Amino acid sequence: MSAEAATAIESQVRELIRKRGVDPVRDVGAVRTMVDDALASWEQRALAGAVAPYDDRLTVAKSVLDNVAGLGPLQAYLDDPEIEEIWINDPAQVYVARRGEAELTSTILTAAQVRDLVEHMLKLSGRRLDLSSPFVDASLPGGERLHAVIPDVTREHWSVNIRKYVTRANHLSDLVALGSLTQQAAEFLGAAVASGLNVLVSGGTQAGKTTFLNALSGSIPPRERVITCEEVFELKIPLRDVVGLQCRQPSLEGTGEIPLRRLVKEALRMRPNRIIIGEVREAESLDMLVALNAGVPGMCTIHANSARDAITKMCTLPLLAGENVSDRFVVPTVASAIDLVVHLHVDARGRRRLREIAGVSGRVEQGVIEVSDLFHRVGDTLVRGDGFPPEEERFARAGYRLSDLLARQS
């Protein structure tokens, strides 16, 4: 009888929410109190024989709270710290990624439930999903990132992805503890960030680029003012003086859109000591290069298959900014703006690992940027390469001896 009791109690709680004008998403505490009151009332009626008793109070309470204030049948996956992403291919195919491994769940939804869940998630984001805008990218109140696509862009069913930002690393030392990189590499990268070098974090989808970028930001000196630019909020910079900016979709009239390029330009007017861009995909890469060449240190992520591919891609994306942008300008600009490339990958066991760290010397030969090997992975071990990074004087000014940081360890 627990299912019937949960349905009846949920109806009572929803009626109370309507009467009292409570926002169940923003005021979960008030909803929880209503659920407890409704459960107590049900128990009293059950003792009098007016209703059937339920079997498990905690199970009923969680079911009602998840349905009213959470994401119903998906809420358990959001609450599970082992799960990193949830996606729905069709109502009968709900998948999760648990520590890098995909698995099909036993959850079966209806098409109406999928639509209701997406509408519920978009309620507070200010973003919309309709035939004129069949894609949506939004940040949820808990920090999760929602991406949804509707027919006829998809074949038949709504496609939904909910990517959780699982904060397992706030500093590079946390990544060392997780086995993602060595202590020497972590100390070098921490010194590079503290010294103001510009870092490009590359890798494939779900390689951990955002997590790594967040961990790198833990080495930024605490007195610096940081401006972040993202499509949707994901970064959680562990500093006090931080301003986060995110893009905005156009209105129904097609006005009011704020693209990533605009955010980067505006960030330069906000007195930044450092700029962090969540990810560059298109013409905003040009504005980022301009910002880095203006003397503002920065970091960003990019999709690529290797450190060399990341540099090549950075030389290509700015060309999307317009016909007046040529490779004769872009290539030397990339060479002088980017100092380090940190490339990540996911191994066969689903573990996120740092695969290589490359230094960009600033030299260009016949249109090819020189890249040096600082660290690379041999088997399961990250080892020191033969190269040296640029900007040795920056390390010295910040109080670091580059020779000590990169000394070969026996």
Dihedral in degrees, nearest 10, Cα atoms 67, 68, 69, 74: 10
Question: Nearest Cα to 242, choosing from 262, 220, 258, 263?
Answer: 220
Q: Tell me 54's DSSP state.
A: P
Q: Residue 361 in contact with residue 336, Cβ under 8 Å?
A: no
pLDDT at 233 over 80: yes
- Residues 284-307 have pLDDT tens digits of 999 999 989 888 999 999 999 999
Whole-number pLDDT of residue 378: 92
- The pLDDT > 70 percentage for the chain reads 98
- Residues 350-378 have pLDDT tens digits of 788 999 999 999 999 988 999 999 999 99
- Residues 74-103 have pLDDT tens digits of 999 999 988 999 999 999 999 999 877 899
- Residues 166-198 have pLDDT tens digits of 666 789 999 999 888 999 999 999 999 999 999
Whole-number pLDDT of residue 216: 96
Q: Residue 158 in contact with residue 89, Cβ under 8 Å?
A: no
**In the block, which residue shows the tokens 């910040």?**
398
Whole-number pLDDT of residue 368: 92
Confidence of residue 26 (pLDDT cuts 50, 70, 90): confident
Q: What homologous superfamily is domain 172-406 in, according to CATH?
A: P-loop containing nucleotide triphosphate hydrolases (3.40.50.300)
Distance of CA 116 to the CA centre of its chain: 24
Q: Which of 113-122, 126-135, 291-300 has the lowest mean pLDDT?
A: 126-135
Average pLDDT score, the chain: 90
Mean of pLDDT values over 320-348: 92
Q: Which of 46-55, 150-159, 172-181, 324-333 has the lowest mean pLDDT?
A: 46-55
Mean of pLDDT values over 118-131: 82
Confidence of residue 113 (pLDDT cuts 50, 70, 90): very high
Return the bridge partners of 94, or none: 88
What class has domain 75-163? alpha beta
Using only C-alpha atoms, what is the Rg of the chain?
A: 25
Q: Which of 118-132, 137-151, 232-246, 384-398 has the lowest mean pLDDT?
A: 118-132
pLDDT at 3 over 90: no
Beta-carbon contacts of residue 60 (< 8 Å; ≥ 6 apart): 2, 5, 6, 9, 39, 54
Whole-number pLDDT of residue 123: 80
The C-alpha angle with vertex 373 and arms to 369 and 376, in degrees rounded to 5, equals 135
The rounded distance, in Å, linking the Cα atoms of 287 and 280 is 10
pTM of the predicted model as reported, rounded to 2 decimal places:
0.82
Whole-number pLDDT of residue 380: 86
pLDDT at 128 over 90: no
The rounded distance, in Å, linking the Cα atoms of 303 and 104 is 26
Q: Residue 336 in contact with residue 293, Cβ under 8 Å?
A: yes
Whole-number pLDDT of residue 168: 66
Q: Residue 261 in contact with residue 287, Cβ under 8 Å?
A: yes
Strands of 231-297, DSSP E: 242-246, 274-277
Mean of pLDDT values over 107-121: 92
Task: Write out the H or E segment, with its range, that includes residue 27.
Answer: none
pLDDT at 250 over 60: yes
Q: Residue 143 in contact with residue 230, Cβ under 8 Å?
A: no
Question: Nearest Cα to 80, choosing from 71, 89, 68, 67?
Answer: 71
More confident residue, 405 or 142: 405
Confidence of residue 410 (pLDDT cuts 50, 70, 90): low
Q: Residue 191 in contact with residue 239, Cβ under 8 Å?
A: no
Confidence of residue 394 (pLDDT cuts 50, 70, 90): very high
pLDDT at 1 over 60: no
Can you read off the two tokens belonging to residue 45? Answer: 């009626």
Mean of pLDDT values over 143-151: 91
DSSP labels for 131-198? TTB-EEEEE-TTS-EEEEE-TTTSSSS-EEEEE------SSHHHHHHTTSS-HHHHHHHHHHHHTT--
Can you read off the two tokens belonging to residue 123? Answer: 């309620």
Confidence of residue 132 (pLDDT cuts 50, 70, 90): confident
Whole-number pLDDT of residue 409: 74
Task: Write out the H or E segment, with its range, that includes residue 84.
Answer: strand 83-90
Mean of pLDDT values over 230-243: 91
Mean of pLDDT values over 35-43: 89
The three-state secondary structure class of 369 is strand
Can you read off the two tokens belonging to residue 351? Answer: 């573990």
Q: Which of 161-170, 195-204, 205-214 has the lowest mean pLDDT?
A: 161-170
Helices assigned H by DSSP within 338-381: none
Helices assigned H by DSSP within 28-169: 28-47, 57-69, 75-79, 111-122
pLDDT at 269 over 90: yes
**In the block, which residue shows the tokens 């909910």?**
162
